[in-house]
Structures are given as C-alpha cells and as structure tokens.
Structure 1
Amino acid sequence: MKVNFMKNPIKILAISVLALSISLFVLSIGFQISEIYINTTPSLPVGFYKVADEPIVSGAYVAFCPPQDAVFDMAMDRSYINSGDCPGGYGLLLKRIFARSGDRVLIDQAGIFVNGEHLPNSAQLKIDAEGHALPQYHLDQRVLDDSEYLLLSNVNPQSFDARYFGLIARDQIKQVVRPIFTWSH
C-alpha cells in the first residue's frame, strides 16, 4: 500500500509537532538528570551550565531560589522570571556572585559599589522596557555577613538583579554552576 503524504499535510504537521514535543521532553529530562541548566536570558551568556561541586565564591555563577516577597511576585507577574519549583512558584535564577562575607557593599540609584569599586552596568533603571516602574532598592554601605550574597549580571544593564531585589541569603543558593557551552546574544 502506497501512502501519498502530499494529500494529507495536516497529518505530517501533527506527526512532526508530536515528534518535536516528545524529543524536547526527553531532552529536558536528560538535562535534569545530568544537572545541566539552559540559560536563554540575557542576564548571563546564553548557553548550557552544569552543576559544579565547588565552593560559593566571588565570581562564581549560582542557581538560586528567590525569596518569597512582593518584589519577586511582581517580577513573576511581569515575566522577568519564570515559574518553577521554588517556594512561591518561582523558577530558579542564574546569577553571578559579586560580593560575599567581608565585602563592603553600597547600592543606590547610581549603581552598586563593592569595596569602593563601581560595578559596570549596575545603575538602577527607573522603568522597564514596557514603561513599568522598577523597585528602587537601597543599601547604605555596610560589610556583608556570612549569610549574605550580592548576585547580579555584569553583561546586561537591564537585568533583574540585586539592583532591584537586594541581597540574597545563603540558604536561597542551591548550587554553583559552570558554563560548559555559551555564545553571545
């Protein structure tokens, strides 16, 4: 029996979509098992990041669950962050550590200063790309304690990071991740 697929393009499309969906599902399971994250946001270089058994140090990339609060509720409502398995229904975020215990930090509208040095791309924006007002987090200069971390993006001046939500507690950080294959946006 000979089947003429040209007579039924809807079936071809449906089979193709089903095959692609199944492939993506299987691939996502494989990534979860192998502890690989796919970053598609402009906050860090786009690409693949693997969980690493390494200490949480300045400069490391980390995956963290945002704390449940009004700022992250707003971020989820505006699609700055995805939904996921963290408390509050938030998804894990990937950011880089720029300050930790013993570092002096100041956060204001001009930007973030760590140990007196102004971090690039750290000035707070007043509104997002849609014209919505952004939270304006402020931290008078102080030394961070053992449970506080400053997480942000140094590659995207429009990233939703410490400029808007402040410091992250150690218990929010779930793991250190290392880039394994990234590319520019």
Structure 2
Amino acid sequence: MKKPIKILGISVLAVSVSLLVLSIGLRISGIYINTTPSLPVGFYRIVDEPIVSGAYVAFCPPQNAVFDMAKDRSYINRGDCPGGYGLLLKRVFAQSGDSVSIDQAGIFVNGEHLPNSAQLKTDAEGHALPQYRLKAVLEDSEYLLLSDLNPQSFDARYFGLIARDQIQQVVRPVFTWSH
C-alpha cells in the first residue's frame, strides 16, 4: 500500500515542477497564465497597446495595509512586486475623465452600474472586508480595475483606484475557457 502513495507523491511533485517550469518559460516569453476566477482562466499575452477601458492589465499593487491584508489572507499571491505581492490581472473599467462612485451597492461608472460589483461585508471565512468609498472624476493617472465576472473578486471595490505607475503591461487573452 505504501508504494502507490509514494508513486502518487512523486507524480504530483513531477507535475508541480513541470507546471512551475512551464509558467516561468511562458512568463519570460511574455505570456501570463491566469488561474483565478477574476478573469477568464487561460493564457494572456503582453501587448504593446494603450491602457483603455475594456483592456486587461497586469499591475503591481501599491504597498499599503489593504494589500498586506490581502496577501496575508491569500486573496492575492506572493510575488516579485514591492511588498512581496504578486502581479494581478484585472480589466480597466474607468480612466481619466470618467465619473466613478463606489459604495455598498457597487460601482457606478458614468452613472452606469457595473455587474457583479456590489461590496461584500465579509469573505468566505467571515473576515471583515474593507468598505472602500469613492465619488470622483478620475484624473490622468488613475484607473478603476476590477472583475465583472466574479462577485467575490478582490478588486477596486475594496482597494480603490490604481495609479498608472503601478500598471506593468497591457495583456490580451490568447486562449481562455470557462471555470
């Protein structure tokens, strides 16, 4: 009975190492793998395009208490960004000149309610979530980044706006599939 367990353990290790090597190789070649429910699961390629509403972007979160909490609770991965945060992939929903309102009911851009944007008071484990509030017209270097697919995504409804200098790349889906 011990042999199958040992073989299974070696197989899992081999698959894990292979996926890690593949992930590093893809990243070097400008490809991200998204496995989170915030965006469609799949492969995203870095593109040389402007940051516009509707674009997908990869960004390093700013170092602050909200992202420290997110890292500690595993809402976000650890990585090479300042603060030990991992890069996040989100979609741009507002930029310079757009009117944005964030409250308990959700996010409104130019008066239009965004789907799946209502704030939750607690996460799945009962921990209180930040209750970010905003009512503003965005300035040149401000972006609203979130997921319209996942009502439980950790995004702008909890951390607010992201500055242009946090955004690393614009990415475009290459191959995605549903969860």
What TM-score bracket applies, with the shorter chain setting the length?
over 0.9
The Cα offsets for residues 72-95 of structure 1, whole Å up to 9 and x where unpaired, read as: 000011100000000000000000
Counterpart position of 2:159: 165
Counterpart position of 2:103: 108
Once the two structures are TM-superposed, the CA of residue 26 in structure 1 deviates from its matched residue by 2.9
Partner Cα distance (2:123, 2:17) in 1 = 36
Point out where structure 2 has 5 or more consecutive residues left out of the alignment.
Answer: none
Counterpart position of 1:60: 55
Return 67-76 or 20-29, whichever deviates more: 20-29
Partner Cα distance (1:64, 1:116) in 2 = 26
**Which has the higher Rg, Structure 1 or Structure 2?**
1
Residues 106-185 of structure 1: pairs in structure 2 closer than 5 A: 106-140=101-135, 142-185=136-179
Once the two structures are TM-superposed, the CA of residue 114 in structure 1 deviates from its matched residue by 0.5
Q: Percent identity?
A: 85
RMSD between superposed Cα atoms in Å = 1.8
Paired positions, count: 178
Residue of structure 2 aligned with 1:36, choices 10, 31, 35: 31
Once the two structures are TM-superposed, the CA of residue 10 in structure 1 deviates from its matched residue by 7.5
TM-score, with normalisation over the residues of structure 1?
A: 0.90
Letter in 2 for 1:44: L
Change (3 A) 1:119 1:27: same
Once the two structures are TM-superposed, the CA of residue 34 in structure 1 deviates from its matched residue by 1.1
Q: Secondary structure at the match of 2:172?
A: strand
Point out where structure 1 has 5 or more consecutive residues left out of the alignment.
Answer: 1-7
Change (3 A) 1:182 1:19: same
TM-score, with normalisation over the residues of structure 2?
A: 0.93
